[in-house]
Chains A and B, each alone.
Chain A
Amino acid sequence: MHELSVAQALVDQVGDLAGQHGAKSVHLIRVRIGPLAGVVGDLLATAFPLAAAGTPAESARLDWVAAPIVVRCRTCGAKTEAQPNKLVCGACGDWRTEVVSGDELILETVELDIPESAGD
């Protein structure tokens, strides 16, 4: 449900970037989503055209990649992959771990169409 809010936030942010760079449109938007971010990539992609209508991002393609969940064990130090509801160490089984990847919600890159006269 809240993916539409996230899509609107993304479109705002991309619009700001387009404005800062004097771009007339946006070709491509790449985001990286971890399973622990609480945002579903496919739903974000569905919501995106609704949020982007009438903005510089209107004709942009949204590409999203899923980040793997990786935890580092505070007890044995191992770095292992984990499941969203089982963030325990894959090596020693201890639950005292920290997530090093898998909770990110990041705008990685945007590809902008910048008219030559607007370049600095």
Chain B
Amino acid sequence: MCDTCGCNVTPGNAKFAYKPVEPGATTISVLQGLLKKNDDQAEHNRAHFDKRGILAVNLMSSPGSGKTALLEATIKALKGELKVAVIEGDLETENDAERIRAQGVPAHQIVTGTACHLDAHMVHDALHHMDLDGIDILFVENVGNLVCPASFDLGQHANIALLSVTEGDDKPAKYPVMFRGADAVVISKTDLLAVLDDFSPDKAERHVRELANPAPILRLSARKGEGLDAWLAWLRSQLAAQRARVAAGRTQRPAIQPEGALMHGAEA
């Protein structure tokens, strides 16, 4: 079924297909992404990262699933090996940025007020407050929300969706847009599995696969340090891949970029 090129129009239904246009009116066929301005800004951000050889990673999850704790543990583990910077997004407070700065790492807090997600323009503004010289990995900790952040490209190279074991293993089935767009899924707080008998990591993984998503599922506890090695290995492999891409003059969009839109010729 095609509503755009007119191939479904027959002599019988043509009179319904082409409504008379009011005098003086002109129809313009546009066929471009509705978030074009955001996407243009996101490309600009990505080019900025690529020029500096930085890997940009967007962390998304519900509030309280352990994004900041994962970052704290990651920064500790990578100290002396890789330089990290963080952009934090929350409706209010500098709390998360302060937690990151306490680890000796530059952090900028975006206070969104009432906005439920970060967009590419907010991240661009934040970049003006940050010195990215020598940075290897920039983490963007999105606003805690399993819905809206999934629709906005920020210029990152990879998306992480966190799912803590206290949330229920069917979250990927309930929030498919978010989990479909994840390049890696982190199942966090696994140290609590011992006392939670109703969360099955295998079931969570099956729900992710049913979204046609082949992303690695990383099970870890940032507090106890369990499973961190696989997460750090994934990060290192992503950074190596980013450096290889930069050397070859290529870039990578996260999985969130709608493939369908590309196939519809909406966005180059």
A interface residues, Cβ below 8 angstroms from B: 1-2, 5-6, 9-10, 12-13, 17, 21, 23, 27-28, 31-32, 34, 36-39, 65, 67-68, 71, 84-88, 95-116
Tell yes or no: B92 within 8 A of A by CB: no
* Given known A-B contacts A17-B30, A21-B26, A99 and B4 have beta carbons under 8 A apart: no
Contacts of A65 in B (CB 8 A): 3
In the bound complex, how far is the Cα of B49 from the Cα of A58, in angstroms? 38
**B: interface residue count bin:** 35 or more
Chain B residues with CB under 8 Å of A86's CB are: 173, 210-211
Give min CB distance, A78 to chain B, whole Å. 14
| Alpha-carbon gap, A98 to B212, bound state (A) | 7
Answer whether residue B261 sits at the interface, using C-beta atoms and an 8 A cutoff.
Answer: yes
Number of A-B contacts (CB under 8 A): 160
User: Which 10 A-B pairs give the minimum distances between C-beta atoms?
Assistant: A2-B148, A103-B258, A38-B151, A38-B177, A87-B212, A85-B176, A103-B260, A1-B116, A85-B173, A97-B212
Shortest distance between the CB of A55 and any CB in chain B (Å): 14
| Chain B hits for A87, CB < 8 A | 176, 180, 210-212
> Do A110 and B3 have beta carbons less than 8 Å apart?
no
Determine if B35 is an interface residue (Cβ-Cβ < 8 Å): yes
Instruction: Give the docked Cα–Cα distance between A115 and B26 (Å).
Output: 10
Task: Tell me whether A9 and B26 are in contact (CB under 8 A).
Answer: no
